[in-house]
Chains A and B, each alone.
Chain A
Amino acid sequence: MEFLQPTTWTEALEMKAAHPEALPIAGGTDVMVEINFDRQRPAAVIDLTKVAELEEWGTENGMLRVGAGVTYSRIIEELGGRLPGLAMASRTVGSPQIRNRGTVGGNLGSASPAGDAHPPLLSSGALVELASASGSRRVPVREFFVGPKRNAMRNDELIAAFLVEPTRGPEQFSKVGTRNAMVIAVCSFAIALDVERKRVGTGIGSAGPTPLAAIDAEEFMAGVLDESGLWERPADVDPNAVARFGELVAAAARPIDDVRGTAAYRRHALAVLARRTFTWAWDERRRSA
Protein backbone atom coordinates (compact mmCIF):
# COMPACT_ATOMS: atom_id res chain seq x y z
CA MET A 1 0.00 0.00 0.00
CA GLU A 2 1.30 3.39 -0.94
CA PHE A 3 0.74 6.43 1.26
CA LEU A 4 0.28 9.73 -0.56
CA GLN A 5 0.12 12.95 1.38
CA PRO A 6 -0.57 16.09 -0.64
CA THR A 7 -0.33 19.39 1.20
CA THR A 8 -2.26 21.54 -1.28
CA TRP A 9 -5.48 21.05 -3.20
CA THR A 10 -3.69 21.31 -6.56
CA GLU A 11 -1.28 18.61 -5.47
CA ALA A 12 -4.14 16.42 -4.26
CA LEU A 13 -5.88 16.66 -7.65
CA GLU A 14 -2.64 15.89 -9.49
CA MET A 15 -2.05 12.85 -7.31
CA LYS A 16 -5.60 11.62 -7.89
CA ALA A 17 -5.10 12.05 -11.66
CA ALA A 18 -1.86 10.07 -11.51
CA HIS A 19 -3.31 7.40 -9.17
CA PRO A 20 -7.00 7.06 -10.02
CA GLU A 21 -7.14 3.81 -8.02
CA ALA A 22 -5.95 5.51 -4.83
CA LEU A 23 -8.48 5.69 -2.01
CA PRO A 24 -8.90 9.14 -0.46
CA ILE A 25 -8.94 9.28 3.34
CA ALA A 26 -10.20 12.22 5.38
CA GLY A 27 -11.37 11.54 8.96
CA GLY A 28 -10.89 7.84 8.32
CA THR A 29 -14.00 6.88 10.31
CA ASP A 30 -15.26 4.78 7.41
CA VAL A 31 -11.98 3.98 5.63
CA MET A 32 -10.07 2.81 8.72
CA VAL A 33 -12.78 0.34 9.69
CA GLU A 34 -12.43 -1.17 6.21
CA ILE A 35 -8.65 -1.34 6.46
CA ASN A 36 -8.56 -2.60 10.07
CA PHE A 37 -10.92 -5.43 9.16
CA ASP A 38 -9.14 -6.20 5.93
CA ARG A 39 -12.27 -5.54 3.89
CA GLN A 40 -10.33 -3.25 1.60
CA ARG A 41 -6.68 -3.25 0.75
CA PRO A 42 -6.28 -0.28 -1.59
CA ALA A 43 -3.10 -0.06 -3.64
CA ALA A 44 -2.69 3.50 -2.39
CA VAL A 45 -4.34 5.96 -0.04
CA ILE A 46 -4.37 9.72 -0.44
CA ASP A 47 -4.50 11.48 2.91
CA LEU A 48 -6.48 14.71 2.57
CA THR A 49 -6.01 15.95 6.13
CA LYS A 50 -3.02 18.15 5.28
CA VAL A 51 -4.95 20.03 2.60
CA ALA A 52 -5.96 23.24 4.35
CA GLU A 53 -8.34 24.31 1.55
CA LEU A 54 -10.66 21.41 2.37
CA GLU A 55 -11.14 22.66 5.92
CA GLU A 56 -12.32 26.14 4.96
CA TRP A 57 -15.83 27.46 4.56
CA GLY A 58 -17.17 30.78 3.35
CA THR A 59 -19.89 32.44 1.33
CA GLU A 60 -20.13 32.67 -2.42
CA ASN A 61 -22.98 34.57 -4.13
CA GLY A 62 -25.21 34.14 -1.12
CA MET A 63 -24.44 30.44 -0.83
CA LEU A 64 -22.35 28.78 1.83
CA ARG A 65 -19.47 26.80 0.40
CA VAL A 66 -18.26 24.30 2.98
CA GLY A 67 -15.03 22.39 2.38
CA ALA A 68 -15.32 18.61 2.25
CA GLY A 69 -12.96 18.31 5.21
CA VAL A 70 -15.07 20.26 7.71
CA THR A 71 -15.91 17.91 10.59
CA TYR A 72 -19.31 17.37 12.21
CA SER A 73 -18.04 19.07 15.39
CA ARG A 74 -17.20 22.18 13.39
CA ILE A 75 -20.54 22.13 11.52
CA ILE A 76 -22.26 22.13 14.93
CA GLU A 77 -20.05 24.84 16.45
CA GLU A 78 -19.45 27.12 13.49
CA LEU A 79 -22.45 26.64 11.21
CA GLY A 80 -25.24 25.59 13.55
CA GLY A 81 -27.11 28.88 13.09
CA ARG A 82 -26.87 28.91 9.30
CA LEU A 83 -27.39 25.21 8.68
CA PRO A 84 -29.63 24.12 11.54
CA GLY A 85 -30.89 20.92 9.88
CA LEU A 86 -27.40 19.70 9.05
CA ALA A 87 -26.22 20.64 12.55
CA MET A 88 -29.07 18.63 14.10
CA ALA A 89 -28.10 15.64 11.99
CA SER A 90 -24.43 16.15 12.86
CA ARG A 91 -25.25 16.02 16.59
CA THR A 92 -26.64 12.50 16.10
CA VAL A 93 -23.49 11.18 14.43
CA GLY A 94 -21.56 8.61 16.47
CA SER A 95 -19.83 10.06 19.52
CA PRO A 96 -17.61 13.08 20.23
CA GLN A 97 -14.63 11.06 18.93
CA ILE A 98 -16.41 10.38 15.63
CA ARG A 99 -17.78 13.92 15.25
CA ASN A 100 -14.32 15.40 15.87
CA ARG A 101 -12.91 13.42 13.00
CA GLY A 102 -15.71 12.49 10.58
CA THR A 103 -16.47 14.89 7.75
CA VAL A 104 -19.43 15.63 5.50
CA GLY A 105 -17.13 15.03 2.52
CA GLY A 106 -16.46 11.53 3.85
CA ASN A 107 -20.17 10.92 4.33
CA LEU A 108 -20.75 11.92 0.68
CA GLY A 109 -17.77 9.81 -0.39
CA SER A 110 -19.16 6.71 1.31
CA ALA A 111 -22.65 7.56 -0.01
CA SER A 112 -24.27 5.15 2.45
CA PRO A 113 -28.08 5.27 2.31
CA ALA A 114 -27.82 5.71 6.12
CA GLY A 115 -25.41 8.67 6.04
CA ASP A 116 -26.89 11.27 8.37
CA ALA A 117 -25.66 14.33 6.48
CA HIS A 118 -27.59 13.30 3.39
CA PRO A 119 -31.21 13.98 4.38
CA PRO A 120 -30.56 17.61 5.39
CA LEU A 121 -28.43 18.17 2.27
CA LEU A 122 -31.33 16.80 0.19
CA SER A 123 -33.97 18.86 1.99
CA SER A 124 -32.02 22.07 1.51
CA GLY A 125 -31.13 21.39 -2.13
CA ALA A 126 -27.36 21.34 -1.72
CA LEU A 127 -24.81 21.02 -4.51
CA VAL A 128 -21.72 18.82 -4.37
CA GLU A 129 -18.58 20.32 -5.91
CA LEU A 130 -16.42 17.68 -7.58
CA ALA A 131 -13.00 18.56 -8.92
CA SER A 132 -10.28 16.95 -10.99
CA ALA A 133 -7.00 18.18 -12.41
CA SER A 134 -8.95 19.19 -15.53
CA GLY A 135 -11.69 21.23 -13.88
CA SER A 136 -14.63 21.18 -11.52
CA ARG A 137 -18.38 20.69 -11.66
CA ARG A 138 -21.29 21.09 -9.28
CA VAL A 139 -23.78 18.26 -9.03
CA PRO A 140 -27.14 18.70 -7.27
CA VAL A 141 -27.10 16.37 -4.28
CA ARG A 142 -30.39 14.98 -5.57
CA GLU A 143 -28.43 13.56 -8.53
CA PHE A 144 -25.30 12.67 -6.60
CA PHE A 145 -26.37 9.32 -5.14
CA VAL A 146 -26.60 6.81 -7.96
CA GLY A 147 -26.89 3.49 -6.11
CA PRO A 148 -26.17 1.78 -2.81
CA LYS A 149 -22.87 3.30 -1.62
CA ARG A 150 -22.31 4.70 -5.10
CA ASN A 151 -22.10 8.33 -6.11
CA ALA A 152 -21.54 10.43 -9.22
CA MET A 153 -17.82 11.01 -8.56
CA ARG A 154 -15.40 9.82 -11.27
CA ASN A 155 -12.21 8.09 -10.20
CA ASP A 156 -10.07 11.05 -11.22
CA GLU A 157 -12.18 13.36 -9.06
CA LEU A 158 -12.28 14.41 -5.43
CA ILE A 159 -15.04 16.11 -3.46
CA ALA A 160 -14.03 19.71 -2.92
CA ALA A 161 -17.01 21.08 -1.03
CA PHE A 162 -20.76 21.24 -0.75
CA LEU A 163 -22.75 24.37 -1.41
CA VAL A 164 -26.01 25.25 0.22
CA GLU A 165 -28.09 28.34 0.88
CA PRO A 166 -28.14 29.42 4.50
CA THR A 167 -31.41 28.48 6.15
CA ARG A 168 -34.56 30.14 4.75
CA GLY A 169 -36.94 28.90 7.39
CA PRO A 170 -37.38 26.20 9.99
CA GLU A 171 -35.43 22.97 9.54
CA GLN A 172 -35.68 19.69 11.38
CA PHE A 173 -33.99 16.30 11.40
CA SER A 174 -35.05 13.16 13.18
CA LYS A 175 -33.58 9.68 13.29
CA VAL A 176 -34.83 6.36 14.59
CA GLY A 177 -32.33 4.12 16.36
CA THR A 178 -31.92 1.97 19.41
CA ARG A 179 -29.88 4.55 21.32
CA ASN A 180 -29.47 8.31 21.32
CA ALA A 181 -25.83 8.02 20.28
CA MET A 182 -23.67 5.66 18.27
CA VAL A 183 -26.38 4.31 16.01
CA ILE A 184 -26.75 3.82 12.32
CA ALA A 185 -30.21 5.12 11.51
CA VAL A 186 -33.02 2.59 11.13
CA CYS A 187 -34.52 5.43 9.14
CA SER A 188 -34.24 9.19 9.24
CA PHE A 189 -35.97 12.24 7.85
CA ALA A 190 -35.10 15.89 7.28
CA ILE A 191 -37.39 18.77 6.42
CA ALA A 192 -36.60 22.35 5.40
CA LEU A 193 -39.24 25.04 4.93
CA ASP A 194 -38.15 27.70 2.44
CA VAL A 195 -40.41 30.51 3.55
CA GLU A 196 -39.17 32.92 0.87
CA ARG A 197 -39.70 30.61 -2.09
CA LYS A 198 -42.66 28.85 -0.50
CA ARG A 199 -41.10 25.44 -0.88
CA VAL A 200 -40.93 22.37 1.30
CA GLY A 201 -37.76 20.28 1.10
CA THR A 202 -37.42 16.71 2.32
CA GLY A 203 -34.76 14.04 2.67
CA ILE A 204 -35.16 10.38 3.61
CA GLY A 205 -32.31 8.31 5.01
CA SER A 206 -31.83 4.57 5.47
CA ALA A 207 -35.02 3.61 3.66
CA GLY A 208 -33.96 2.97 0.10
CA PRO A 209 -30.95 2.05 -2.02
CA THR A 210 -29.86 5.69 -1.79
CA PRO A 211 -30.88 8.68 0.31
CA LEU A 212 -34.06 10.05 -1.30
CA ALA A 213 -36.20 13.15 -1.56
CA ALA A 214 -39.99 12.73 -1.23
CA ILE A 215 -40.92 14.95 -4.14
CA ASP A 216 -44.68 14.27 -4.17
CA ALA A 217 -44.83 15.02 -0.46
CA GLU A 218 -42.90 18.28 -0.96
CA GLU A 219 -45.24 19.47 -3.71
CA PHE A 220 -48.34 18.39 -1.84
CA MET A 221 -47.45 20.27 1.34
CA ALA A 222 -46.22 23.39 -0.46
CA GLY A 223 -49.58 23.37 -2.31
CA VAL A 224 -51.58 23.02 0.90
CA LEU A 225 -49.72 25.93 2.51
CA ASP A 226 -50.12 28.00 -0.66
CA GLU A 227 -53.83 27.39 -1.19
CA SER A 228 -54.75 28.37 2.33
CA GLY A 229 -52.44 31.40 2.36
CA LEU A 230 -50.56 29.88 5.28
CA TRP A 231 -47.09 30.89 4.12
CA GLU A 232 -48.11 34.54 4.68
CA ARG A 233 -50.39 34.00 7.67
CA PRO A 234 -49.18 30.89 9.50
CA ALA A 235 -52.04 29.16 11.33
CA ASP A 236 -53.06 25.59 12.04
CA VAL A 237 -52.51 23.16 9.20
CA ASP A 238 -55.35 20.68 8.62
CA PRO A 239 -54.33 17.46 10.46
CA ASN A 240 -55.54 15.45 7.48
CA ALA A 241 -53.05 17.28 5.28
CA VAL A 242 -50.25 16.58 7.77
CA ALA A 243 -51.25 12.90 7.80
CA ARG A 244 -51.30 12.84 4.01
CA PHE A 245 -47.82 14.40 3.98
CA GLY A 246 -46.65 11.53 6.19
CA GLU A 247 -48.19 8.97 3.86
CA LEU A 248 -46.54 10.52 0.83
CA VAL A 249 -43.15 10.50 2.54
CA ALA A 250 -43.61 6.82 3.44
CA ALA A 251 -44.65 6.10 -0.15
CA ALA A 252 -41.50 7.73 -1.52
CA ALA A 253 -39.28 5.38 0.50
CA ARG A 254 -37.99 2.14 -0.98
CA PRO A 255 -36.99 0.29 2.16
CA ILE A 256 -35.84 -3.28 2.62
CA ASP A 257 -35.91 -5.70 5.55
CA ASP A 258 -32.52 -5.89 7.22
CA VAL A 259 -30.95 -6.42 10.65
CA ARG A 260 -31.88 -2.92 11.77
CA GLY A 261 -35.57 -3.06 10.87
CA THR A 262 -38.22 -4.27 8.49
CA ALA A 263 -39.41 -2.40 5.44
CA ALA A 264 -42.89 -2.15 6.96
CA TYR A 265 -41.51 -0.65 10.18
CA ARG A 266 -39.41 1.85 8.23
CA ARG A 267 -42.40 3.05 6.22
CA HIS A 268 -44.49 3.37 9.34
CA ALA A 269 -41.75 5.22 11.21
CA LEU A 270 -41.11 7.58 8.30
CA ALA A 271 -44.74 8.67 8.24
CA VAL A 272 -44.45 9.42 11.97
CA LEU A 273 -41.13 11.27 11.56
CA ALA A 274 -42.53 13.30 8.66
CA ARG A 275 -45.62 14.37 10.62
CA ARG A 276 -43.59 15.18 13.71
CA THR A 277 -40.82 17.11 12.04
CA PHE A 278 -43.32 19.05 9.93
CA THR A 279 -45.26 19.93 13.08
CA TRP A 280 -42.11 21.06 14.91
CA ALA A 281 -41.01 23.12 11.93
CA TRP A 282 -44.46 24.65 11.49
CA ASP A 283 -44.71 25.50 15.21
CA GLU A 284 -41.41 27.33 14.86
CA ARG A 285 -42.74 29.16 11.82
CA ARG A 286 -45.82 30.22 13.75
CA ARG A 287 -43.79 31.41 16.71
CA SER A 288 -41.46 33.46 14.53
CA ALA A 289 -44.17 34.98 12.30
Chain B
Amino acid sequence: MGMGRTPPVGLMRITCTVNGKQVSADDVWAGESLLYVLRERLGLFGSKNACEQGECGSCSVYLDGKLVCACLVLGGQAEGREIVTVEGIGSDGALHAVQEAFVEAGAVQCGFCTPGLIVAAHDLLNRIPEPSTVQIREALAGNICRCTGYAKIIDAVHLAARGLAQSR
Protein backbone atom coordinates (compact mmCIF):
# COMPACT_ATOMS: atom_id res chain seq x y z
CA MET B 1 0.00 0.00 0.00
CA GLY B 2 1.47 3.36 -0.95
CA MET B 3 1.05 5.42 2.22
CA GLY B 4 1.48 9.09 1.42
CA ARG B 5 0.54 10.01 4.98
CA THR B 6 -0.41 8.25 8.17
CA PRO B 7 -4.01 7.15 7.84
CA PRO B 8 -6.26 6.22 10.77
CA VAL B 9 -5.75 2.61 11.83
CA GLY B 10 -7.04 0.15 9.25
CA LEU B 11 -7.62 2.72 6.54
CA MET B 12 -5.53 2.64 3.43
CA ARG B 13 -4.85 4.13 0.05
CA ILE B 14 -5.50 2.13 -3.08
CA THR B 15 -3.93 2.91 -6.41
CA CYS B 16 -5.08 1.17 -9.54
CA THR B 17 -5.90 1.78 -13.17
CA VAL B 18 -9.55 2.45 -13.93
CA ASN B 19 -10.64 2.80 -17.55
CA GLY B 20 -7.06 3.44 -18.61
CA LYS B 21 -6.29 6.12 -16.02
CA GLN B 22 -4.26 5.66 -12.87
CA VAL B 23 -6.36 6.67 -9.87
CA SER B 24 -6.05 6.58 -6.10
CA ALA B 25 -8.64 6.30 -3.38
CA ASP B 26 -7.89 7.33 0.19
CA ASP B 27 -9.20 6.29 3.58
CA VAL B 28 -10.41 2.96 2.22
CA TRP B 29 -11.59 0.65 4.99
CA ALA B 30 -10.00 -2.81 4.80
CA GLY B 31 -13.38 -4.54 4.45
CA GLU B 32 -14.62 -2.30 1.66
CA SER B 33 -15.54 -3.79 -1.71
CA LEU B 34 -14.18 -2.63 -5.04
CA LEU B 35 -17.77 -1.70 -5.91
CA TYR B 36 -17.89 0.72 -2.98
CA VAL B 37 -14.52 2.17 -3.96
CA LEU B 38 -15.67 2.69 -7.56
CA ARG B 39 -18.97 4.31 -6.65
CA GLU B 40 -18.39 6.16 -3.41
CA ARG B 41 -14.70 7.06 -3.67
CA LEU B 42 -14.16 7.43 -7.41
CA GLY B 43 -17.63 8.69 -8.39
CA LEU B 44 -18.18 6.02 -11.03
CA PHE B 45 -21.86 5.23 -10.63
CA GLY B 46 -22.25 3.02 -13.70
CA SER B 47 -21.59 -0.18 -11.77
CA LYS B 48 -24.77 -0.73 -9.78
CA ASN B 49 -25.08 -1.85 -6.21
CA ALA B 50 -27.92 -4.29 -5.71
CA CYS B 51 -27.44 -7.68 -4.10
CA GLU B 52 -23.88 -7.40 -2.71
CA GLN B 53 -23.59 -11.18 -2.95
CA GLY B 54 -22.62 -11.88 -6.54
CA GLU B 55 -26.08 -13.04 -7.53
CA CYS B 56 -27.32 -10.21 -9.74
CA GLY B 57 -24.33 -9.17 -11.86
CA SER B 58 -25.27 -5.47 -11.77
CA CYS B 59 -21.74 -4.57 -10.65
CA SER B 60 -19.93 -6.58 -13.36
CA VAL B 61 -16.56 -5.08 -14.28
CA TYR B 62 -13.32 -6.30 -15.78
CA LEU B 63 -10.49 -6.94 -13.33
CA ASP B 64 -7.25 -7.58 -15.23
CA GLY B 65 -9.36 -8.52 -18.24
CA LYS B 66 -11.62 -10.98 -16.40
CA LEU B 67 -15.32 -10.43 -15.84
CA VAL B 68 -16.02 -10.28 -12.10
CA CYS B 69 -18.56 -8.91 -9.65
CA ALA B 70 -17.02 -5.78 -8.12
CA CYS B 71 -19.00 -6.40 -4.92
CA LEU B 72 -17.00 -9.59 -4.32
CA VAL B 73 -13.57 -8.02 -4.77
CA LEU B 74 -12.01 -6.49 -1.69
CA GLY B 75 -10.87 -2.93 -2.40
CA GLY B 76 -7.30 -3.78 -1.41
CA GLN B 77 -7.27 -6.65 -3.89
CA ALA B 78 -7.54 -4.07 -6.68
CA GLU B 79 -4.20 -2.48 -5.69
CA GLY B 80 -2.05 -2.26 -8.82
CA ARG B 81 -4.68 -3.95 -10.98
CA GLU B 82 -6.45 -2.80 -14.09
CA ILE B 83 -10.19 -2.24 -13.93
CA VAL B 84 -12.58 -1.45 -16.73
CA THR B 85 -16.10 -0.41 -15.79
CA VAL B 86 -19.11 0.20 -18.01
CA GLU B 87 -17.91 3.82 -18.30
CA GLY B 88 -14.85 2.49 -20.12
CA ILE B 89 -16.71 0.36 -22.66
CA GLY B 90 -17.69 3.10 -25.12
CA SER B 91 -15.47 5.97 -26.16
CA ASP B 92 -16.11 9.65 -25.51
CA GLY B 93 -19.39 10.61 -27.09
CA ALA B 94 -19.75 7.31 -28.95
CA LEU B 95 -21.51 4.21 -27.72
CA HIS B 96 -19.95 0.79 -28.21
CA ALA B 97 -21.71 -1.57 -30.63
CA VAL B 98 -23.02 -3.58 -27.65
CA GLN B 99 -24.56 -0.44 -26.16
CA GLU B 100 -26.03 0.60 -29.51
CA ALA B 101 -27.57 -2.83 -29.91
CA PHE B 102 -29.21 -2.70 -26.47
CA VAL B 103 -30.84 0.61 -27.39
CA GLU B 104 -31.90 -0.57 -30.83
CA ALA B 105 -33.31 -3.90 -29.66
CA GLY B 106 -35.25 -2.32 -26.80
CA ALA B 107 -33.32 -4.40 -24.30
CA VAL B 108 -33.47 -1.64 -21.69
CA GLN B 109 -36.47 -1.08 -19.48
CA CYS B 110 -35.76 0.30 -16.02
CA GLY B 111 -32.07 0.17 -16.89
CA PHE B 112 -30.68 -0.88 -13.55
CA CYS B 113 -29.24 -4.18 -14.77
CA THR B 114 -28.09 -2.71 -18.08
CA PRO B 115 -24.54 -1.63 -17.17
CA GLY B 116 -23.72 -5.09 -15.81
CA LEU B 117 -25.27 -6.75 -18.83
CA ILE B 118 -23.33 -4.50 -21.19
CA VAL B 119 -20.03 -5.49 -19.58
CA ALA B 120 -20.98 -9.19 -19.48
CA ALA B 121 -22.16 -9.15 -23.12
CA HIS B 122 -18.99 -7.28 -24.12
CA ASP B 123 -16.93 -10.01 -22.43
CA LEU B 124 -18.91 -12.76 -24.17
CA LEU B 125 -18.39 -11.20 -27.62
CA ASN B 126 -14.67 -10.85 -26.93
CA ARG B 127 -14.49 -14.56 -26.25
CA ILE B 128 -17.11 -15.81 -28.72
CA PRO B 129 -17.75 -13.34 -31.54
CA GLU B 130 -20.83 -15.17 -32.85
CA PRO B 131 -22.48 -16.86 -29.90
CA SER B 132 -25.53 -19.09 -30.15
CA THR B 133 -28.59 -18.30 -28.04
CA VAL B 134 -27.59 -21.07 -25.65
CA GLN B 135 -24.12 -19.56 -25.29
CA ILE B 136 -25.65 -16.14 -24.63
CA ARG B 137 -27.95 -17.53 -21.95
CA GLU B 138 -25.06 -19.35 -20.34
CA ALA B 139 -22.80 -16.27 -20.43
CA LEU B 140 -25.48 -13.99 -18.97
CA ALA B 141 -26.68 -16.45 -16.32
CA GLY B 142 -25.09 -14.32 -13.62
CA ASN B 143 -26.94 -11.14 -14.62
CA ILE B 144 -30.49 -10.71 -13.38
CA CYS B 145 -33.06 -8.51 -15.12
CA ARG B 146 -36.47 -8.18 -13.52
CA CYS B 147 -38.14 -6.23 -16.34
CA THR B 148 -37.46 -7.58 -19.78
CA GLY B 149 -37.87 -11.34 -19.55
CA TYR B 150 -34.48 -11.50 -21.32
CA ALA B 151 -35.78 -12.03 -24.88
CA LYS B 152 -34.79 -8.55 -26.04
CA ILE B 153 -31.48 -8.77 -24.22
CA ILE B 154 -30.66 -11.92 -26.15
CA ASP B 155 -31.78 -10.20 -29.38
CA ALA B 156 -29.46 -7.30 -28.53
CA VAL B 157 -26.45 -9.58 -28.12
CA HIS B 158 -27.14 -11.24 -31.48
CA LEU B 159 -27.53 -7.78 -33.01
CA ALA B 160 -24.28 -6.57 -31.46
CA ALA B 161 -22.48 -9.67 -32.75
CA ARG B 162 -23.71 -8.92 -36.28
CA GLY B 163 -22.75 -5.25 -35.94
CA LEU B 164 -19.27 -6.09 -34.75
CA ALA B 165 -18.81 -8.69 -37.51
CA GLN B 166 -19.69 -6.07 -40.14
CA SER B 167 -17.27 -3.53 -38.72
CA ARG B 168 -14.39 -6.05 -38.75
In contact, A1 and B53 (Cβ under 8 angstroms):
no
In this assembly, does A29 line the interface, its C-beta being within 8 Å of a C-beta of chain B?
yes
Q: In the assembly, what is the distance between CA of A32 and CA of B71, in Å?
A: 7
Nearest Cβ in chain B — how far from A253, in angstroms? 27
B141 touches A25 (CB 8 A): no
A94-B79 in contact (CB<8A): no
**In the docked arrangement, what's the CA distance between A204 and B65, Å?**
35
B99 within 8 A of A: no
Task: Report the number of A-B residue pairs with Cβ-Cβ less than 8 Å.
Answer: 98
A97 and B60 contacting across the interface, CB-CB below 8 Å: yes
Q: Mark A175-212, 1 if CB is under 8 A from B, else 0.
A: 00001111000000000000000000000000000000
Of the 9-residue stretches B27-35, B146-154, B159-167, which lies at the interface with chain A?
B27-35
Interface residues of B in 1-43 (CB under 8 A from A): 1, 10, 12, 29-31, 33
Which A residues are CB-close (under 8 A) to B30? 1-3, 44-45
Partner of B53, one of A37, A49, A179: A37
Given contacts A36-B33, A95-B141, A182-B142, 17 further A-B pairs with CB under 8 A are A1-B10, A3-B30, A5-B79, A32-B74, A37-B52, A37-B53, A45-B31, A47-B76, A95-B143, A96-B120, A96-B123, A97-B57, A97-B60, A97-B67, A97-B68, A100-B68, A101-B63
Report whether B1 and A41 are in contact in the complex, using a CB–CB cutoff of 8 Å. Answer: no
Given contacts A3-B30, A28-B73, A47-B76, whether A181 and B141 have CB atoms under 8 Å apart is yes
Cβ-defined contact, A100 with B138, below 8 A: no
Instruction: Assign chain B's interface to a size class.
Output: 20 to 34
- Residues from chain B with Cβ under 8 Å of A44 in the complex: 30
Give the distance to chain A from B47, nearest Cβ to Cβ, in Å. Answer: 12
Whether the pair B52, A1 counts as a contact (CB closer than 8 A) is no
Interface residues of A (CB under 8 A from B): 1-3, 5, 25, 27-29, 31-33, 35-37, 41, 44-45, 47, 49, 73, 94-98, 100-101, 179-182
B44 contacts A by Cβ under 8 Å: no
Q: Determine how close the nearest CB of chain A comes to the CB of B73; give it in whole angstroms.
A: 6
Judge whether B54 and A25 touch: CB under 8 Å: no
How distant is the Cα of A37 from the Cα of B31 in the complex, in angstroms? 11
With known contacts A32-B72, A98-B69, A47–B120 Cβ distance under 8 A:
no
A5-B76, A37-B53, A47-B77 are known contacts. Are A97 and B31 too (CB-CB below 8 A)? no
